């Protein structure tokens, strides 16, 4: 069993360090190898996703990823920017299904941006498509007939892309409360109309799952009004990116939300995947020991469960995180004063 560890930029290395310590403490016989990615890789090699990093990722059973993004790199040409590394990994490794669970940990109901009785009911899973949409369409700048500069990014989804993510979402719903909400903008976008048509077609294979459709603007509102009504939400790359950051504040902090990015490739132990917190490199707090590592620690738990078949170890990590949070060991993001390593220490002590 081998994991590629890609810490990346900003708080990426800080939060990844804590997740690695947790995996090591469980003594599961997992080999880990680290490589450069993002701005750190660009600065060292001239490319945000060097071939050696991609090769390491391809050769492992799973990837633990921190975050990429560096303000020093914001003026680079698009293909050299740190963010291209995570987009490249998702695309190159055909990791099309991004699972982003959001639930309120017992004792944290008062730390949500919502009223405690509203927040306490949250237990949802966002299934975000990760290989298509406006993120991967043709893009560029052009000059209009009047001589103005114009930027464009093409949004598109093919039937097969929608079909495969729809199957993942229906199957996830079957393992939960059997309710699926497909979020789109079919009242305006053809991409979304096709999305909706295909989701309806796929629903015929899952008569036990109740399907509803919601426009994304309403979904953003319902996520704050009554988030407890959602079970599984399936949506495209852009809408899923936005709604999951929003869901994180319904739960309390973006430092709590983990994710798994999966495809179809199987390893000897489970499904090959990349695991990362849903947040970015947080340059505003980087290097200060203030980042909450829980999202990355919980991503490591997802890694053990989905890619390495180590469900019991994953349960242990999740229980230790819940115990640490309910004991009031909270970072600044949740109104506490615990630093990154202190939170990691507390999780280790509770394992
Ligand atoms: N998957 C990835 O690697 C992602 C990379 N990014 C990149 O990250 C950089 C910063 O982007 P932002 O929009 O600022 O998003 P961000 O998620 O990095 O930060 C947003 C806000 O949340 C806070 N925050 C994030 N993670 C936290 C944690 N673990 N503990 C405590 N507070 C935390 C930050 O301090 C900041 O105030 C950009 O370069 C962006 O492109 C953004 C999202 C995902
Ligand atoms: C940096 C982006 C490419 C990705 C992002 O914001 C995300 O996956 O949540
Ligand atoms: Mg995002």
Task: For residues 124-137, give the mean pLDDT.
Answer: 98
Reported as a single tens digit per residue, the pLDDT across 80-111 is 999 999 999 999 999 999 999 999 999 999 99
Pairing of β 123-129 and β 97-103: antiparallel
Q: Phi and psi at residue 193, in whole multiples of 5°?
A: -65, -45
Q: Ligand 2: which of 70, 97, 240, 241 to mutate, judged by most atoms within 8 Å of the beta carbon?
A: 241
Q: What is the mean pLDDT of the chain?
A: 98
Whether this prediction's pTM lies above 0.90 is answered by yes
Answer whether 122's CB lies under 8 Å from 102's CB.
Answer: yes
- The top-level CATH class assigned to 109-251 is alpha beta
CA distances from 56 to 6, 32, 130, 170, 250 (A): 10, 11, 21, 32, 36
Which DSSP letter does residue 269 get?
S
Across residues 77-81, what is the average pLDDT?
Answer: 97
pLDDT digits (tens, 9 = 90+) for 213-241: 999 999 999 999 999 999 999 999 999 99
Question: With bands split at pLDDT 50, 70 and 90, how would you rate the model's confidence at 19?
Answer: very high
Is 171 labelled as part of a ligand binding site? no
CATH 3.40.718.10 domain range(s) in the chain: 1-96+255-351, 109-251
Please give the Cα distance from 40 to 246 (Å, whole number).
28
Average pLDDT over residues 29-52: 98
Residues 4-39 as b or e (16 or more Cβ within 10 Å = b): bbbbbbbbbbbbbbbbbbbbebbeeebeeebbbbbb
Assigned CATH topology for domain 1-96+255-351: Isopropylmalate Dehydrogenase (3.40.718)
CB under 5 Å of ion ligand 3: residues = 241
| 126-133 mean pLDDT | 98
Among protein residues, the one with the nearest Cα to ligand 2's atom 3 is 83
CB atoms within 10 A of CB 146: 6
* Per-residue pLDDT reduced to its tens digit, 246-289: 999 999 999 999 999 999 999 999 999 999 999 999 999 999 99
How far, in Å, is the centroid of ligand 3 from the Cα of 242? 6
Contact 85, 36 (CB under 8 A): no
Q: 179-212: per-residue pLDDT in tens?
A: 999 999 999 999 999 999 999 999 999 999 999 9
Which tens digits make up the pLDDT trace of 314-337? 999 999 999 999 999 999 999 999
């Amino acid at each position: 069993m081998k994991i590629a560890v890609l810490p990346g930029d900003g708080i990426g290395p800080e939060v990844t360090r804590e997740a690695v310590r947790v995996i090591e403490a469980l003594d599961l016989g997992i080999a880990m190898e680290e490589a450069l990615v993002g701005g750190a890789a660009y600065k060292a090699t001239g490319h945000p996703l060097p071939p050696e990093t991609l090769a390491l990722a391809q050769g492992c059973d799973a990837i633990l990823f921190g975050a990429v993004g560096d303000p020093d790199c914001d003026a680079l040409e698009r293909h050299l920017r740190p963010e291209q590394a995570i987009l490249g990994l998702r695309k190159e490794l055909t990791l099309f299904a991004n699972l982003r669970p959001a639930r309120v940990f017992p004792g944290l109901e008062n730390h949500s941006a919502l009223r405690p009785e509203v927040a306490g009911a949250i237990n949802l899973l966002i299934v975000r498509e990760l290989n298509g949409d406006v993120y991967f369409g043709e893009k560029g700048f052009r000059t209009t007939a009047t001589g103005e500069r114009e930027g464009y990014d093409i949004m598109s989804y093919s039937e097969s892309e929608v079909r495969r993510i729809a199957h993942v979402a229906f199957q996830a719903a079957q393992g939960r409360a059997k309710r699926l909400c497909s979020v789109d903008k079919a009242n305006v976008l053809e991409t979304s109309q096709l999305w909706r048509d295909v989701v309806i077609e796929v629903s015929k294979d899952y008569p036990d799952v109740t399907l509803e459709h919601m426009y994304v603007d309403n979904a953003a509102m319902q996520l704050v009004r009554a988030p407890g009504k959602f079970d599984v939400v399936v949506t495209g790359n852009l809408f899923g990116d936005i709604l999951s950051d929003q869901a994180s504040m319904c739960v309390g902090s973006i430092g709590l939300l983990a994710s798994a990015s999966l495809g179809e490739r199987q390893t000897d132990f489970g499904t090959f995947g990349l695991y990362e917190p849903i947040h970015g490199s947080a340059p505003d707090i980087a290097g200060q020991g203030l980042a909450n590592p829980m999202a990355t620690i919980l991503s490591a738990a997802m890694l053990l469960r989905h890619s390495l078949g180590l469900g019991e170890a994953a349960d242990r990590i999740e229980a230790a995180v819940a115990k640490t949070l309910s004991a009031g060991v909270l970072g600044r993001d949740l109104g506490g004063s615990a630093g990154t390593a202190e939170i990691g220490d507390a999780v280790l002590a509770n394992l």
